[in-house]
């Protein structure tokens, strides 16, 4: 199904640097990066045979397998020259069983509690600071408080694994803005669940995969033992949180797998490195649409449209807006 052109394009997107020039400085009539041609063959193989069955449909439920987890379905072209997502709401499911539960609690609980973590202070030496993440969570907190929702904010050196685990069970939405990491397990021989995760307070430059609440690294292997069943939404606003290795068991082994085992109803993740500013502005607009009453999947779809239309600073390029995927189930 997935040909060389698709794999090449995804590899190019994964190689995108996390800090990019101001993409919105380009003229408004400038053409975006031409990625549709790369995905044309995949669209024809996956969806063209189904066209007679899709004429009157508005929603597509996709249960990917293997490398299809890595495909940004929001970039697949439609037969009329637009994007497939312009025609359908595309919902990504981690398993067929997810259809049973995903239609419950599909909209923002306007008074539900939120946990926001960003502006994290890493170790010295340690990962590069992300100043945009503090602005990101402050903007989201303002929106939440404006509708009367309780907000728990963590930043600086207070974003520890133990604190997160204790707090996350008391909220409906958790938004963690930080670094994410993923390493292919082929070279090291380590399980991918020890090769993917997110970075917390005090993290240093070197790490060894083990269960340690104080090392500043929250691995997928650790996260899958958490209870995330009370969350309506988990947002990991970080690089490559949607990646994993192909697996014969569940199609993918990585953070998405761990979150599913932990009971997360839905998680907004990224398929490749994303720019700090563009990510912050993109996620804030996403919450604005949720506050307006859109479902989680429709809010993401509309946020992508806003980015494509140049309405979100730093997010107009597909290397930003197409990176975000809402995995449900």
Q: What is the mean pLDDT of each run of 10 residues along the chain (329 residues)?
A: 81 65 39 62 87 91 88 90 91 88 88 96 93 94 94 97 95 96 76 91 83 90 95 95 75 85 94 88 96 96 96 93 93
Q: Is 322 helix (H, G, I), strand (E, B) or coil?
A: coil
Q: Is the peptide bond before 125 cis (omega within 30 degrees of 0)?
A: yes
Strands 89-93, 59-62: parallel, antiparallel or unpaired by DSSP? parallel
How far is Cα 233 from Cα 125, in angstroms, rounded to an integer?
A: 33
Check if the beta carbon of residue 159 is closer than 8 Å to that of residue 146: no
Check if the beta carbon of residue 175 is closer than 8 Å to that of residue 155: no
Q: What is the longest distance spanned by two Cα atoms in the chain?
A: 59
User: How crowded is residue 87: how many other Cβ atoms within 10 Å of its Cβ?
Assistant: 15
- R_g of the chain computed on alpha carbons: 19
Q: Is 187 helix (H, G, I), strand (E, B) or coil?
A: helix
Q: What share of the chain is helix, strand, coil (3-state, %, to 5)?
A: 40, 20, 45
How far is Cα 292 from Cα 311, in angstroms, rounded to an integer?
A: 17
Q: Is 295 helix (H, G, I), strand (E, B) or coil?
A: strand
Give CA 9 to chain center in angstroms. 19
CA end-to-end span of the chain, whole Å? 24
Q: What is the pLDDT of residue 18?
A: 43
Enumerate residues 6+ apart whose C-beta is below 8 A from 285: 303, 306, 307, 311, 312
What b/e sequence results for 161-181 when a residue is b if at least 16 CB atoms lie within 10 Å of its CB, and e otherwise? bebbbeebeebbbbbbbbbbb
Q: Is 93 helix (H, G, I), strand (E, B) or coil?
A: strand
How far is Cα 326 from Cα 89, in angstroms, rounded to an integer?
A: 12
Q: What is the pLDDT of residue 89?
A: 93
Identify the sign of the CA torsion 88, 89, 94, 96.
negative
Q: What is the pLDDT of residue 24?
A: 38
Strands 114-120, 173-177: parallel, antiparallel or unpaired by DSSP? parallel
Q: For residue 75, what are its two tokens? A: 């970039």
Check if the beta carbon of residue 14 is closer than 8 Å to that of residue 6: no
Q: For residue 50, what are its two tokens? A: 């189904």
How far is Cα 308 from Cα 319, in angstroms, rounded to an integer?
A: 11
C-alpha separations of 310 from 31, 153, 306 in Å: 12, 30, 6
């Amino acid at each position: 199904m997935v040909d060389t052109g698709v794999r090449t394009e995804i590899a190019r997107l994964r190689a995108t640097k996390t800090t990019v020039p101001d993409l919105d400085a380009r003229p408004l009539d400038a053409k975006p990066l031409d990625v549709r041609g790369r995905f044309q063959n995949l669209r024809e193989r996956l969806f063209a045979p189904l066209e007679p069955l899709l004429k009157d449909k508005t929603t597509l439920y996709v249960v990917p397998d293997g490398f299809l987890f890595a495909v940004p379905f929001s970039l697949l072209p439609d037969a009329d020259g637009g994007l497939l997502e312009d025609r359908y709401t595309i919902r990504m499911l981690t398993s067929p069983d997810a259809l049973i539960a995903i239609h419950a609690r599909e909209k923002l609980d306007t008074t539900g509690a939120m946990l926001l973590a960003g502006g994290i202070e890493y170790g010295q030496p340690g990962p590069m600071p992300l100043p945009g993440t503090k602005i990101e969570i402050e903007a989201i907190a303002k929106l939440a408080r404006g509708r009367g929702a309780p907000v728990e904010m963590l930043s600086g050196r207070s974003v520890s694994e133990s604190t997160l685990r204790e707090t996350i069970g008391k909220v409906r939405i958790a938004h963690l803005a930080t670094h994410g990491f993923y390493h292919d397990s082929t070279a090291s021989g380590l399980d991918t669940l020890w090769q993917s995760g997110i970075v917390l307070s005090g993290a240093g430059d070197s790490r060894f995969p083990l269960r340690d609440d104080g090392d500043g690294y929250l691995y997928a292997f650790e996260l899958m033992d958490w209870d995330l069943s009370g969350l309506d939404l988990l947002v990991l606003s970080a690089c490559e949180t949607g990646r994993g290795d192909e697996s014969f068991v569940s199609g993918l082994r990585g953070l998405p797998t761990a979150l599913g085992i932990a009971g997360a109803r839905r998680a907004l993740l990224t398929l490749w490195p994303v720019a700090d500013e563009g990510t912050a502005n993109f996620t804030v607009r996403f919450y604005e649409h949720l506050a307006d009453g859109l479902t989680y999947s429709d809010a993401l779809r509309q946020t992508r449209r806003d980015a494509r239309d140049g309405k979100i600073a730093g997010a107009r390029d597909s290397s930003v807006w197409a990176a975000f995927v809402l995995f449900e189930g």
